[in-house]
Amino acid sequence: MATCGEVLVKLLENYGVDHVFGIPGVHTVELYRGLAASAIRHITPRHEQGAGFMADGYSRTRGKPGVCFIITGPGMTNITTAMGQAYADSIPMLVISSVQSRSALGGGRGKLHELPNQSELVRGVAAFSHTLMSADDLPQVLARAFAVFDGARPRPVHIEIPLDVIVEPADHLLGSEPVRVERAAAAPGTAAKMAALLASARRPLILAGGGAIGASASLTRLAEYLQAPTALTINAKGTLPSRHPLLIGSTQSLAATRELVREADVVLAIGTELAETDYDVTFKGGFEIPGTLLRIDIDPDQTVRNYPPKLAMVADAGHACDALLHALGDQPSPVRAGEWGPARAARLKETLAAQWDDAATAQTLFLDTILEALPQAVLVGDSTQPVYTGNLTLDLDHPRRWFNASTGYGTLGYALPAAMGAWLGSAQEAAQRLPVVCLIGDGGIQFTLPELASAVEAQVPLIVLLWNNQGYEEIKRYMVNRDIEPVGVDIHTPDFVTIARGFGCAAQAVSEVQALKAALVAAAGRQGPTLIEIDQRRWTDNALD
């Protein structure tokens, strides 16, 4: 007789789930009853926050939801930080937890791992949180979850299963078929109206966000047809190839790019919140769109937030771009202002290139060195200085190869477990997986340092590049600039190389280009993780010699 927990594993397999991240506990062992006999690989992090970050990284490279098995109470409070990052960045994640038996829900009886209302606590970082009150409802609630992942703005979903429901007989559910939905197509009438406005524009511009990463080819064709300079948010990097003449990077926070946006008479925003951490990383305001704004998003609510548009379309980004291209074929050939399109984009790039200071130059050399040694690498970042710089200066040729926690929710410690998940998700077969590089600072890595043990255990060839500036230097600078005496930012810096070796990792310190290249190539050939420490001061001094 198959229990609800065993049937859950089978139904997840039917939905294509091949990895689960979780830490078994007394309240979740029944979720594991059917796992060993399945084709799903279980990865054990050292903290539930790590499980969530791994699922997040897995989802970003694989393009489908990462799945977690989490215990009641402390397991769920631990993972909510990771869910918050995924929620902010529209990342699909399925978190399945246990909860007290139905008769004990909300009872306040001092049960193990008891929360007054676990579902209510989690609801703020989830598309929805559902308490499964009967095994019979399992197929339906899974279908709801995957409808969000497939057809709506993808965000975490939480399903909690009471302890007595997990063990309910559920043989009759084994034949349940997955239910999948298609993403919304573009409304022809709205597409025609948008096309008319775009065709009449003399200075069109595109702002594309993470919601457009699945529409790379269509978006590129649309930009080329319109001859529209195109800015990408940090989560959309690679949606246009790095050397495309219309690409103006991810520099919307800088004055020169803002000036170009102000020059545009029609701005098409696709799959972007138009939010602070993509358009105002200085947190000083001033980003303006005086031209006619058109917005496309899968989320109806998002089409009118932050910057209200003249016209909005609720649709999948790829479908919308294709519909606009089709509708533009019925419009007169566009007439562009002189020195627009590639010429204006090139002039912007020249202006920006002359602005980078010594620190940005040294950090860009660091990032370029990584990609010279490992051209196909996926770079997963934390909130650390080379990541801030790369957000502005680095462009890539494919999406899903640059993402980090410096945007949106902005949590520390993300990069290490997320990079581990990214490697597992980058391809179905281990031999086909791309090299994955974790970019993290000496402060951030101390949030999730034990996940090195998880990477050793799972034989993930993760490359951890530790940018060491002996403390929270970015926050220290922020305090000084505000005339606040620095407190709490000059933290103790341990011997990371020795610690990493103690976990079973290869580890070394480097400080110049050729040594870093050699270390990266060697690390990519290993079966387990490697930590490479870079002292910020020594690297910068060598880079500027």
Question: pLDDT tens for residues 268-312?
Answer: 999 999 998 888 876 778 899 999 999 999 999 999 999 999 999
Regarding whether 427 and 323 lie in a shared domain, the answer is no
* Alpha-carbon span 247 to 205, nearest angstrom: 10
179 part of a folded domain: no
What's residue 73's pLDDT?
94
pLDDT above 90 for 338: no
Which range marks the domain in which residue 164 is found?
Answer: 4-173
Between the alpha carbon of residue 156 and those of residues 2, 32, 145, 317, 451, the distances in Å are 28, 21, 9, 20, 22
What's residue 476's pLDDT?
86
Q: Read off the pLDDT of residues 156-181 as tens digits, 9 standing for 90 and up.
A: 999 999 999 999 999 999 999 999 99
Q: What is residue 115's three-state secondary structure?
A: coil
Q: Are 191 and 324 in contact (CB under 8 A)?
A: yes
- For 496, the enclosing helix (H) or strand (E) is helix 496-503
What's residue 214's pLDDT?
94
- Both tokens of residue 206? 């595109």
Q: What contacts 513, CB < 8 A, 6 or more positions away?
A: 365, 369, 542, 543
Q: What contacts 343, CB < 8 A, 6 or more positions away?
A: none
pLDDT above 80 for 399: yes
Query: Which among 293, 324, 353 is the end of a domain?
Result: 353
Phi, psi of 330 (to 5 degrees): -95, 0
Q: In what order do the strands lie in the sheet with 230-232?
A: 230-232, 204-208, 266-270, 292-297, 311-314
Q: What angle is formed at CA 272 by the lines to CA 266 and CA 276, rounded to 5 degrees? A: 100
- Where are any strands of DSSP class E within 149-228? 156-162, 204-208
Regarding whether 309 and 458 lie in a shared domain, the answer is no
What percent of the chain shows pLDDT beyond 90? Answer: 86
Q: Read off the pLDDT of residues 302-329 as tens digits, 9 standing for 90 and up.
A: 999 999 999 999 999 999 999 999 999 8
* Alpha-carbon span 420 to 16, nearest angstrom: 20
308 part of a folded domain: yes
- For 467, the enclosing helix (H) or strand (E) is strand 463-468
Q: What contacts 280, CB < 8 A, 6 or more positions away?
A: 253, 286, 287
Regarding whether 419 and 345 lie in a shared domain, the answer is no
- Where are any strands of DSSP class E within 55-179? 66-70, 93-99, 128-131, 156-162
180 part of a folded domain: no
**Residues found in the chain:** 545
Q: Among 46-55, 89-98, 103-112, 346-355, which stretch is predicted with the lowest mean pLDDT?
A: 103-112
- Mean pLDDT, all residues of the chain: 94
Regarding whether 520 and 483 lie in a shared domain, the answer is yes
- Both tokens of residue 540? 């910068």
Q: Read off the pLDDT of residues 72-104 as tens digits, 9 standing for 90 and up.
A: 999 999 999 999 999 999 999 999 999 988 887
CA trace torsion 57, 60, 62, 66 (10° rounding):
60
CATH number of the domain at 453, please. Answer: 3.40.50.970
60 part of a folded domain: yes
Query: What is the torsional sign of CA 306, 307, 311, 317?
Result: negative
* Alpha-carbon span 13 to 23, nearest angstrom: 19
Regarding whether 526 and 399 lie in a shared domain, the answer is yes
| N-to-C CA span, the chain | 71
Regarding whether 348 and 364 lie in a shared domain, the answer is no
The model's confidence at residue 473, banded by pLDDT at 50, 70 and 90, is confident
Q: Read off the pLDDT of residues 368-389 as tens digits, 9 standing for 90 and up.
A: 999 999 999 999 999 999 999 9
Regarding whether 119 and 248 lie in a shared domain, the answer is no
pLDDT above 80 for 131: yes
Go through 319-340 and write b for each residue having 16 or more CB atoms within 10 A of its CB, e for each that does not. Answer: bbbbbbbebbeeeeebebeeeb
Regarding whether 365 and 338 lie in a shared domain, the answer is no
DSSP string of 286-319, one letter each residue: -----SEEEEEESSGGGGGSSS--SEEEES-HHH
181 part of a folded domain: no
- Both tokens of residue 538? 């020594």
Q: Whole-model pTM?
A: 0.95
Regarding whether 404 and 339 lie in a shared domain, the answer is no
